[in-house]
Amino acid sequence: MSINLSHFSAAVVFALFASIVFGITQRNSTMEQVKYGAYCFALFVGGVFLAGWVMALIRR
Amino acid sequence: MAKPNTDKSKNAAPAEPEYPLTTMAVVAPFVGWLIPGGGHLLLRRYGRGVLLLVSVVAMFLIGLGMQGRIYKPNGGDILDILGFVGDVGSGLLYFIARAMDWGNVMAANAAADYGKTFLIVAGLLNFIAVADAHHIALGKKP
């Protein structure tokens, strides 16, 4: 079995699973867990876009 | 003249609640390490347990699918040892992968590098889940 993911899709998959674990383990109530998981996911993916733009600007 | 207040109990910080170590507080983290999410399932947190199981197992399998490398304990290099510590966090998944000789590749491409990271992070996330199971069993967390 071989999986070929692009850098972006690998980062999104990584963000998804890491956010689920962070949400469950770092908050107590269900709603807080969902909110914190979504917050972590947004930060992960936002960080990917930010880093991408920074690297693109440096490359110019 | 007012008498000075000498009652120390009024100024003392509120006492921390005590959480006695129970058998379940030892067993649940151990089961959670061997089977990701198992500690939560044992503590009847079924939803959380299943989500943790799916997340850690999926990350581990995706890492293997991307030709990620599984570290051995006797790597020699300090970074190899740290990689082993991360990998072994996945519990039984790590031992199954070693027994089946999966992840014994030295592929030098970007996907393999991502895969190696997925494998390590799966183990590290499981360590966080193990600590969470311990806190639930102690009663520190609902």
* Euclidean distance between CA atoms A60 and A56, whole angstroms: 7
Other CB atoms within a 10 A radius of the CB of residue B102 amount to: 16
Residue with token string 């000075």: B4
The stretch B99-105 carries a mean pLDDT of: 90
Nearest chain B CA: its distance from A31 CA (Å): 13
Q: Which residues of B touch A4 (CB under 8 A)?
A: 66, 111
* Euclidean distance between CA atoms B30 and B78, whole angstroms: 26
The SS3 assignment for A60 reads coil
pLDDT for A11-33, tens place per residue?
999 999 999 999 999 999 999 99
pLDDT, residue B132, reads 97
pLDDT, residue B101, reads 93
Residue with token string 């107590």: A28
Nearest chain B CA: its distance from A57 CA (Å): 22
Predicted ipTM of the assembly: 0.93
In eight-state DSSP terms, residue B5 is -
Q: Which residues contact A47 (CB under 8 A, 6 or more apart)?
A: none
pLDDT, residue A14, reads 97
Give the residue from chain B lying closest to A34, CA to CA: B48
What is the helix (H) or strand (E) element at residue B18, kind and residue range?
A: none
* Euclidean distance between CA atoms A5 and B115, whole angstroms: 10
Other CB atoms within a 10 A radius of the CB of residue B11 amount to: 8
Q: Please, are residues B95 and B101 in contact by the beta-carbon 8 Å criterion?
A: no
Q: Which residues of A touch B132 (CB under 8 A)?
A: 24-25
Q: Please, are residues B62 and B116 in contact by the beta-carbon 8 Å criterion?
A: no
